[in-house]
Every structure is written in C-alpha cells, then in structure tokens.
Chain A
Amino acid sequence: MKVIIASGKGGTGKTTVCASLISVWDSPVIAADMDVEAPNLHLYLNPKIEEARKATIEIPIIDKEKCMRCGACVEVCQFNALTLTDDGVLSFPEMCHGCGGCFLACPFGAIISGERELGNVLWGKVNKNTDFIMGELRIGEAMSPPLIREIKKHLENNFKNLKDIIMDAPPGTSCPPINAAIDADVIVLVAEPTPFGLHDLGLAREAFKSLKKPIGVVINRAGSKAHNFPIYEYCNAKKLPVWSEIPFSKEIALACSKGQVLALFSDKYRALFIDLMNKIKNYV
C-alpha cells in the first residue's frame, strides 16, 4: 500500500503527520520523503543513511565539428533549451527537460549525450522495520519532478511491492506534488483551519481528485480560536472525511520544533496516530 501525505498550503504539518504515522505503522514500511526541494522528514526520523546516488538527466551537447546549423534541433525543442545564433547552436542546459527530441531530430548525428545533475537520492534505515529514502534537489536546479521520478524508480527496483510506502509530499498543487502522488493508493491531505488553509485545501482537492483515489483530511492545529472556521463545513459538503484532528497546542509546536515525533511524545498522540493508521488501512 502506498500512502501520500500532502497539502496545498505549505507548513500545515505534513512532515509531522508523516513521521508519526511511520512510527506507529504496524507492518514493514518505507518512509519516503518526496519533498526534494525542502526535505525535512529525516530531521524527525534520524535514519542511518547507507548510500547516496547522484541523479541526472540526459541533455544535449552540440558537436560543433558535425553541426551544420540546420536548426532542426532548435525547431523541435519545446523548452527553449536550444537556440540558433551566428556562432551555431547554443544550448541552455538548465532549461532542458531531457525529452531526447533533439537527438532524434539531428540529421547529422551532431548531438552528443551529456548530463545535468538533478541532485541526490539517499537511502538507508530508520530501524529494523522501517526503510528510508529521500531526494535532495541540487541548489540551483529548477526541476524537481525528474528527481521525484528517480526516487520512485529506486523504490520499484529495490522493494517491488513488498512493503508499505508512506510518502511525504512537496507542498502545492502543481506538477511536483502530483508527480509524487501519481501511484498512491490513499491520499491524506493535511489542512489547517484558517482562510489560507481552507483556500488551499480546495485547490488540493481539485488537483488530487483527478487521481481517483480515496482522499481523507487531517486537520492540524484544530480547536484554537480558529476552530469555528468553515473548514469542517467544506469537508462535509465535498464528502471529504476528516480522519483525524491534531489539537492546537504550544506543547506540540515546541516538540515539533525540536524534531520530536509527536506519536512518541505521549500515549494520547500515539493513540491518535494509531487510529489514523487504522482508518487508512481500512480504505485499501
């Protein structure tokens, strides 16, 4: 089973929920941090990283000797990564999506295979029952989806479907979180009862419902003065089940700021996340 913990708005508590859920999960599980831009799950789970591998995508290098400046490669590139100048074809490797279209288009075999570093995929173990994997986008690299796909490839190749996977998604509703969630069986949206939280929960529901998988909501920082905010009405109206509520408390905020796992913090919170696990498992 693959579970993804996502949210529209950032900072609603995805990683808090993810770390706790993993720590109470009662079958072998892989913790996968798909937020390659700002990965934080390792700060809570303290895995022992055993291996790291550089991830790259294939980009074109123009062989100036062979290039006849016909412009065929420039014409097919949809991403403005190639341009024809007086000095020949100039490439902007950081714009390239690695589609390979220019290699196929060049009639003179003048494009040599090069690579651009996306970042690293790192993996290891949290404990006997829990594997860990994360990606770390290279500073200055703009495209996170290909690195997210590298993590998925590693999971497929090394674990097949033998273990449950709990994924921490990047925030937002555009291509990075959707790429992360694409093969999930269950989607958990973490939301907070504020106008921003409600607005972004609406966007997230729109984005994730296209995946046609069960979606449940965890409301974080519930029960503050914001408690009456119409997030519950929204969930009701859209038939989004509220699977769990994490209370608003300074004690929790402090624990999380130190990287403590909420479920290990007290029996009360442990019970809350066991209940969430049972609800998720019931859906699959």
Chain B
Amino acid sequence: MYEITVISGKGGTGKTVLTAAFAHLASKHIICDLDVDASDLHILLERKRDFKKDFFSGNEAIIDQSKCIQCGSCTELCKFEAIYKTEKGPSVDPIRCEGCGVCVKHCPQNAISFPKKHCGEWYQSQTNFAPMIHAQLFPGEENSGLLVSLLRKEAKKLAVERGANLLICDGSPGMGCPVISSLAGTNLAVIITEPTLSGMHDLKRILDLCKHFSIPAKVIINKYDLNKDQATLIEKYCVENKTEVVSKIPYSKTVIEAVIMKKTIIEYDDGIVSDIIKEAWSKIKKEITNA
C-alpha cells in the first residue's frame, strides 16, 4: 500500500483542487479526505453516499448540581479553567473541557458524570473515479487527530477489499494534531504552496515537520505567476533543501470555474492547467512505481 498525503501548512493554497485532480488521474486507488474540520473534497467528488457512521471519542464532564455541595475541588483541580460558577453551583464549559476526568475522579459527592462524546460522523461514498472515505467533525469538537487515524484505517481496509494499492489523501492546513496524524505512516507528502511571503514561511515550517517525521516531500507551487520573484525564491529554497519542485501551476480562472461547476479541473478543462497537473501526476506516479 502506498499513501500520498497532500498538505500545505498555509490554508487555501489549493490542496483540495489538486487532490481531486490526482484522484481523477490515478487508478486502483482509494480517496480519503483527512481534513475532517473543514472538509471540502466531497463537494467536488461525491456522487453517492454508501453509508454514514457515528464517531464517538473522548468524554465530557457534566456536573449534577443537585448532588453538588459546592466544595470547590473540581474548580481547583481543573487545569483547563473549564469550570465556572453559576447561581445553582459549578458548571462545566464544554468548549474548555478536555475530557481528562480529573474532576470526575476527585468529586467527593460523585456528582460528575462522564458520558462519551458524539464528536462527528464519517462516510463512505462513491465518486466517478474511486471510492472515498471522508468525515465531518462536529463544529467546535476536539479529537480531530483520532478521527484522522480512524479514516486512514478504514481507507486501508477498503483498499484491501477492493484490490486497490494506493491511498490519495487530502490533508488539513496547519502543522498540529490532524496534520501530524495525517502524516504518520504516509509514504509521500505533496506540499502545495503559493508564491507569497506567507506561503514561503509556512512551507519552511511544513518541510521541517516532514523532516522531523522522516517523510519524503515534494513541492508544487500553485499560481506561481502571481509573483514570479517569490516563486523563484521558493524554488531556490527547495533546491538548497534537496526537495524537488515537481510542478509550477499558473494562475487560471478555469480552476475556480471548475470548482463552481463541482468538477475536477481535469474533467472541466483540457487546457494548460490540466496538462501541467497531468505532468505533475506522472512524476509522482513514477515515484510510486519505483517504491
């Protein structure tokens, strides 16, 4: 099984558009959207939903104020300042609560319950190209890393069932919990960047992250002609850091038109952008074949 994960550090550089194009071009693969927080890949690809499953993870402390004697031990022990006073007694702020259970364990009245949390849903869907696994973490929820791990596990299971040997994953922006969870065990990180100061700054950080976890990385510069000087600086940085820039994609209005039509860029237009992405894919495919 070979896993490719598309990431960026900075958001909005074009991860989802690129992942959708790769999903179109690849064969014998499973598509997986690991951006469980603001997942968008299904907007372009999903044609039919096979099933939906609930995602439960972690627990949430709830104080039964009728049992509470207001001793203050929960407030004192909570490291997350999640317990606040109300007229009826202390209450837990679900946004601040990390589900550690310290207050539950140490309440002398056993007044705090600790139910499992329903944090989101995950789905298996059909696309025009390959089966897709994706999810939606409920707004404001935590444990995105665990949901990402679950999706990768389910996608691999499905790949075995369907005789697929490639996983194409859309990652999330940033470099924290869900990104680290997405990268764990991936064979190749494809980093999409843009020729801006922010793009460059975040590219350096995400390359360092890949190095930290010993994940090979390749770079694609999207909209490179918006600022060619900055694109050149990015290329220079990649050369110095022995990272291949596999492709430079020009800015084109057809990309946004394709998104509005809910199609992959390859489906929508056979112009220059599609040609360049096809070429990038053939380079990445060579990498997979050699592995």
Residues in A lying within 8 Å of B, measured CB to CB: 8-12, 15, 35, 37-38, 40, 43-44, 76, 78-79, 97-101, 104-105, 137, 139-144, 170-176, 178-179, 182, 194-196, 199-200, 203-204, 206-207, 210-211, 224-226, 229, 250, 253-254, 256-259
Q: How far is the CA of A179 from the CA of B180 in the complex (A)?
A: 20
Which residues of the other chain, B, contact A171 by a CB distance below 8 angstroms?
A: 11-12, 38, 173-174
Query: With a CB–CB cut-off of 8 A, which chain B residues contact A15?
Result: 198
Q: Which single residue of chain A is at the shortest CB-CB distance from B174?
A: A37
**Known contacts A43-B198, A43-B201, A78-B99, A173 near B139 by CB under 8 Å:** yes
**Shortest distance between the CB of B267 and any CB in chain A (Å):** 15
Is B54 close to A, CB under 8 A? no
Q: Does B141 sit within 8 A of A, measured CB to CB?
A: yes
CA distance A229 to B201 in the complex (A): 32
A35 contact set on B, CB distance < 8 A: 174
Contacts of B71 in A (CB 8 A): none
Answer whether residue B96 sits at the interface, using C-beta atoms and an 8 A cutoff.
yes
How many Å lie between the Cα of A178 and that of B180 in the bound state? 20
Q: Which residues of B contact A44 (CB under 8 A)?
A: 197
Using known A-B contacts A38-B202, A99-B100, A254-B226, determine if residue A78 contacts B11 with beta carbons closer than 8 Å. no
How many residues does chain B have at the interface if contact means C-beta atoms less than 8 Å apart? 64
| Cα distance, A141 to B95, chains bound together (Å) | 21
User: Which A residue sits closest to B202, measured CB to CB?
Assistant: A38
Task: Find the B residue at minimum CB distance from A260.
Answer: B197
Any A CB within 8 A of the CB of B124:
no
Given contacts A10-B38, A78-B100, A210-B95, contact A174 B13 (CB under 8 A): no
Q: How far is the CA of A245 from the CA of B123 in the complex (A)?
A: 35
In the complex, the chain B residue whose C-beta lies closest to that of A58 is: B79
Query: Given contacts A38-B205, A182-B95, A258-B230, is CB(A199)–CB(B79) below 8 Å?
Result: no
Q: Report whether A257 and B96 are in contact in the complex, using a CB–CB cutoff of 8 Å.
A: no
| Known A140-B213, A199-B43, A229-B260; 19 more pairs at CB < 8 Å | A9-B38, A10-B11, A38-B173, A38-B201, A78-B99, A97-B98, A99-B98, A99-B101, A104-B102, A142-B180, A143-B177, A172-B173, A179-B95, A195-B43, A195-B259, A200-B38, A210-B140, A257-B226, A258-B196
CA A175 to CA B132, docked complex, whole Å:
26
B126 to chain A, nearest CB (A): 19
B180's partner among A8, A140, A173, A254 (CB-CB below 8 A) is A140
> Closest CB of chain B to A227's CB: distance in Å?
11
Considering only CB atoms, which chain B residue lies closest to A170 in the complex? B174
Report A-chain residues with C-beta under 8 Å of the C-beta of B199: 257
Q: List 27 A-B contacts (CB under 8 A).
A: A10-B10, A10-B11, A15-B198, A40-B10, A76-B102, A137-B175, A139-B212, A140-B209, A141-B176, A142-B177, A171-B173, A174-B137, A174-B140, A174-B142, A175-B142, A179-B95, A196-B259, A199-B43, A210-B140, A226-B260, A250-B226, A256-B196, A257-B195, A257-B227, A258-B197, A258-B230, A259-B198
User: Binary interface profile of B, 35-78, with partner A (CB < 8 Å = 1, else 0)?
Assistant: 00110100100000000000000110000000000000000010
A11 with B13, Cβ < 8 A, contacts A38-B202, A173-B140, A225-B253 known = yes
Which residues from chain B contact A143 at a C-beta distance below 8 Å?
176-177
Tell me if B236 is interfacial: C-beta within 8 Å of chain A: no
Q: Which residues of B contact A141 (CB under 8 A)?
A: 176
Looking at the complex, which one of A9, A99, A142, A178 makes contact with B40 (CB distance below 8 Å)?
Answer: A9
Contact between A253 and B226, CB atoms less than 8 A apart: yes
Distance between Cα atoms of A147 and B1 in the complex (Å): 36
Contact A194 B256 (CB under 8 A): yes
